[in-house]
Amino acid sequence: MRNAVYQDRIDTLTIASDKLKAKDKNFSIFRLLFFIVAVGIAIYLASISWLYSIACIVIALVSFSRLLRYHSTIIKERKLTTAIIDLNKNENKSIDNDHSGFENGIRYQNDTHPFTTDMDVFGDHSLFQMLNRTSTIFGEKILANRLSNGLTKDEIPKYQLAIQELGPKIDWRQRLHGLGKLDIEEHHDHERLERWLNADNPLKTSKILVYFCVIFCWVLFIILIFYGVPFMGALLAFLPNVLLSYHNNKAINEIHALLDRNEKFIK
């Protein structure tokens, strides 16, 4: 019965995840088109008045920042949905006696403790691993402390009431778990940062092509300033750079996100 509950949630969340994935992709394309159109309008207005062009650039930047903010919420919701799907998959495995998806708490094992070793409180297939649904190290420590030191008579009824209240709220519990996992991923990604530092350049663009795009852009701008060129000709100055950015968009976004998550660590 419980397998069916978790499987139904996996199926429903997978559909939602696919929709968010498509929305994420479409929004990335829309951002690119918005940038191209904004640049084109700014160039066109520059031929009429620089004041119009500057006003257009300011409005475009403000609008683009709002688009980025909204896009980030889509990305975060997609990651959250994936984390909840993984949780339900681990719950299904746990029902089949595979608890490997949850921490076993072996780090809290104390051989001098009067009962935790003999009663398999920590370790594989332990009481800790079967109960553990924490998503942060702080939650793990609290659970380990409760299992090692127990509760007072006054605390036990309070915990029982809390369990009765939260038991039916599976959506809320799993969303909270997913948010905790995202927080760990977003703020503690040192191992991935180290792998990135030791890896080859993920941007798949030759230096010669990059230099060509820069020179091409400046040459067209100089022609625009001194000789004047048609509107579409000026727009061509940005086209190679836009295509390069789009080609490396995924790798660039991953690098930015990685550096943002580890900003304090880098400093």
Give 195's pLDDT tier (boundaries 50, 70, 90): low
Mean pLDDT of 220-234: 63
pLDDT, one tens digit per residue, over 36-85 is 888 888 888 877 887 888 888 889 888 988 888 898 899 899 999 999 99
**Structure tokens of 70?**
């909204």
pLDDT at 124 over 80: yes
Taking only Cα atoms into account, the Rg of the chain, rounded to an integer number of angstroms, comes to 27
SS3 letters across the chain = CHHHHHHHHHHHHHHHHHHHHHHHHHHHHHHHHHHHHHHHHHHHHHCCCHHHHHHHHHHHHHHHHHHHHHHHHHHHHHHHHHHHHHHHHHHHHHHCCCCCCCCCCHHHCCCCCCCCCCCCCCCCCCHHHHHCCCCCHHHHHHHHHHHHHCCCCCHHHHHHHHHHHHCCCHHHHHHHHHHHHHHHHHHCCHHHHHHHHHCCCCCCCCHHHHHHHHHHHHHHHHHHHHCCCCHHHHHCCCHHHHHHHHHCHHHHHHHHHHHHHCHHHHC
pLDDT, one tens digit per residue, over 235-252 is 666 666 666 666 666 666
The Cα–Cα gap between 167 and 240 comes to 56
pTM over 0.75: no
Q: What percent of the chain has pLDDT over 90?
A: 27
- Terminal CA-CA length for the chain: 51
Give 175's pLDDT tier (boundaries 50, 70, 90): very high
